[in-house]
């Protein structure tokens, strides 16, 4: 009797992480690894070190040899536990070397399921590998697991990692806001958030206003930045209430596309030399010179993307489920897809897992709709608040030792 095409593949699982770390990418890792370890169709579960680089270098860790309790601690362990990479794979038409190597590795370990966890570039890599293996008639089911604090992936309501970073930003701004109202002297505070091309993270600052005195002004990379308008806005708020709190995205740029952080000279700032600090330090100096007020700059830095201690339980749950669903879908025969979230916010928040074509996702960038930004380009509206608020809910019950986090300690047993 001929083999039915619908029979699940029987073979090994390979998982890899790529792109910038997040507070919950390891929750997705745990979703993939746990589900794969429990599947009767899976012979072995491997994780590549440093994503695609670890595949090319044959640095594969055997997940079957890990202690299940340590693996579970991945739920609350930030950053990429298996190492990440920013390797941009060539198009197979231009250079087949990497693909041949990948096929070799997949064949020698009988990899029949591959899960790649990352953002835009990673989904592109995932898509290229998927297409190549299909062309070579190597039977392997490939599913992308979304991850990016930038929240700019197409085809999904939001991305795992975003909500926890957003929660850290809103929480930190609430606390900084309390701090900035302590003395009876005026103060302007400028807070720099991550987001080079999309303003989702910076916009999350608005949530600090829900039951606290949050930011007065928010500047996003979705619209052009004008230094004079910015100074006018800051001065207007400061003169009105004696203080002003500003959230700016690192990616704000002038109309000609130049990043404000990189612009070396301008009539307004008057600096002719290279700046050591980042955007916050630069704007702080400019506002101080223009107002004479006390101005404080805060760069939230990489702490915003790895703050597992301030993670959203909703985010952790969804990240885990994305990994789990990826494995379930692959075993059910799906391939060339990315896990996405389809959410509703009517009658409470619900999040449904879906699959989207990798072709459609790869290299598309999702930005905040312009209609969600106020017409003066200096704040976000209620639509963003309604979108973002439910994603932050839930306090994780983390394990601590003497008050400090207990992260997963993996054995990392390599195949060779």
Does 413 help bind its own copies (rule: CB under 8 A)? Answer: no
Distance (Å, rounded) from C-alpha 151 to C-alpha 177?
A: 25
- Cα 354 to chain centroid, rounded: 19
Does 71 help bind its own copies (rule: CB under 8 A)? Answer: no
Q: Which of 172, 202, 249, 261 binds its own copies (CB under 8 A)?
A: 172
Distance (Å, rounded) from C-alpha 51 to C-alpha 72?
A: 21
Q: Which stretch binds its own copies (CB under 8 A): 116-124, 154-162, 248-256, 277-285?
A: 277-285
Q: Which of 140, 149, 206, 207 binds its own copies (CB under 8 A)?
A: 207
280 membership: H or E segment, kind and range: helix 279-291
Name residues contacting its own copies, limited to 211-230 (CB under 8 A): 211-212
DSSP character string of 130-181? HHHHHHTT---EEEEEE--TT--BTTSSS-TTHHHHHHHHHHHHHHHHHHHT
Q: Which stretch binds its own copies (CB under 8 A): 93-101, 115-123, 176-184, 215-223?
A: 176-184
Q: CB–CB of 327/115 below 8 Å?
A: yes
Does 346 help bind its own copies (rule: CB under 8 A)? Answer: no
Distance (Å, rounded) from C-alpha 147 to C-alpha 28?
A: 9
Which of 202, 377 has the CB closer to its own copies? 202
Q: Which of 104, 139, 224, 302 binds its own copies (CB under 8 A)?
A: 302
Name residues contacting its own copies, limited to 85-114 (CB under 8 A): 85-86
Is residue 150 flagged as an active site residue? Answer: yes
DSSP character string of 197-231? S--HHHHGGGGGGSSS---SEEE-TTS---HHHHH
Six-digit token string for 229: 């308008």
We find the least distance from the C-beta atom of residue 126 to its own copies, in angstroms, to be 19
Six-digit token string for 110: 């009988």
Which of 241, 409 has the CB closer to its own copies? 409
Name residues contacting its own copies, limited to 40-59 (CB under 8 A): 49-50, 53
**Secondary structure class of 112 (helix, strand, coil):** strand
Secondary structure tally for the chain: helices H, strands E: 13, 13
Does 243 help bind its own copies (rule: CB under 8 A)? Answer: no
Name residues contacting its own copies, limited to 310-329 (CB under 8 A): 310, 312-314
Does 390 help bind its own copies (rule: CB under 8 A)? Answer: yes
We find the least distance from the C-beta atom of residue 4 to its own copies, in angstroms, to be 42
Q: Which stretch binds its own copies (CB under 8 A): 79-87, 111-119, 235-243, 248-256?
A: 79-87
Distance (Å, rounded) from C-alpha 358 to C-alpha 348?
A: 30
Q: Which one, of 14, 19, 22, 75, lies nearest residue 47 by Cα?
A: 14
Q: Which of 1, 40, 255, 404 binds its own copies (CB under 8 A)?
A: 404
Distances (CA, A) of 190 to 104, 142, 300: 52, 43, 10
Does 395 help bind its own copies (rule: CB under 8 A)? Answer: yes
Q: Which of 98, 150, 233, 317 is catalytic?
A: 150
Which of 22, 329 has the CB closer to its own copies? 22
Q: Which stretch binds its own copies (CB under 8 A): 35-43, 118-126, 373-381, 394-402?
A: 394-402
Does 148 help bind its own copies (rule: CB under 8 A)? Answer: no
Question: Among all residues, which ones are annotated catalytic?
Answer: 150
């Amino acid at each position: 009797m001929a083999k039915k095409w619908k029979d699940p593949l029987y073979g090994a699982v390979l998982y890899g992480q790529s792109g910038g770390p997040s507070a919950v990418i390891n929750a997705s890792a745990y979703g993939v690894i746990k589900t794969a370890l429990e599947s009767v169709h899976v012979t072995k579960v491997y994780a590549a070190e440093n994503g695609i680089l670890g595949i090319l270098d044959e640095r594969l860790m055997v997940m079957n040899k890990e202690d299940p309790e340590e693996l579970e601690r991945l739920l609350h362990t930030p950053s990429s536990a298996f190492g990440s990479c920013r390797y941009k794979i060539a198009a197979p038409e231009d250079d087949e070397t990497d693909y041949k190597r990948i096929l070799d590795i997949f064949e020698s370990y009988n990899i029949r399921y591959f899960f790649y966890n990352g953002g835009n570039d990673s989904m592109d890599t995932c898509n290229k590998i998927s297409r190549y293996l299909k062309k070579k008639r190597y039977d392997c089911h490939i599913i992308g697991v979304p991850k990016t604090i930038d929240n700019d992936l197409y085809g999904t309501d939001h991305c795992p990692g975003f909500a926890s970073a957003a929660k850290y930003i809103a929480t930190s701004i609430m606390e900084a806001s309390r701090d900035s109202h302590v003395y009876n002297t005026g103060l302007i505070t400028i807070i720099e958030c991550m987001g080079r091309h999309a303003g989702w993270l910076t916009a999350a600052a608005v949530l600090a206003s829900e039951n606290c005195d949050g930011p007065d002004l928010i500047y996003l990379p979705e619209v052009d930045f004008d230094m004079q308008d910015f100074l006018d806005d800051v001065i207007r708020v400061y003169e009105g209430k004696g203080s002003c709190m500003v959230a700016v995205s690192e990616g704000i740029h002038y109309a000609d596309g130049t990043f404000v952080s990189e612009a070396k000279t301008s009539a307004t700032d008057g600096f002719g030399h290279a700046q050591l600090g980042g955007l916050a330090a630069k704007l702080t100096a400019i506002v101080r010179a223009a107002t004479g007020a006390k101005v404080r700059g805060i760069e939230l830095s990489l702490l915003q993307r790895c703050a597992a201690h301030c993670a959203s339980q909703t985010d952790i749950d969804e990240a885990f489920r994305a990994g789990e669903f990826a494995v379930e879908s692959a075993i059910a025969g799906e391939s060339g897809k990315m896990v996405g979230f389809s959410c509703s916010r009517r009658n409470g928040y619900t999040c449904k897992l879906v699959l989207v074509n990798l072709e459609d996702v790869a290299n598309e960038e999702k930005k905040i709709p312009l209609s969600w930004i106020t017409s003066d380009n200096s704040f976000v509206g209620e639509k963003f608040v309604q979108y973002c608020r439910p994603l932050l809910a839930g306090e994780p019950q983390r394990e601590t030792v003497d008050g400090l986090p207990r992260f997963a300690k993996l054995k990392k047993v390599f195949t060779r």
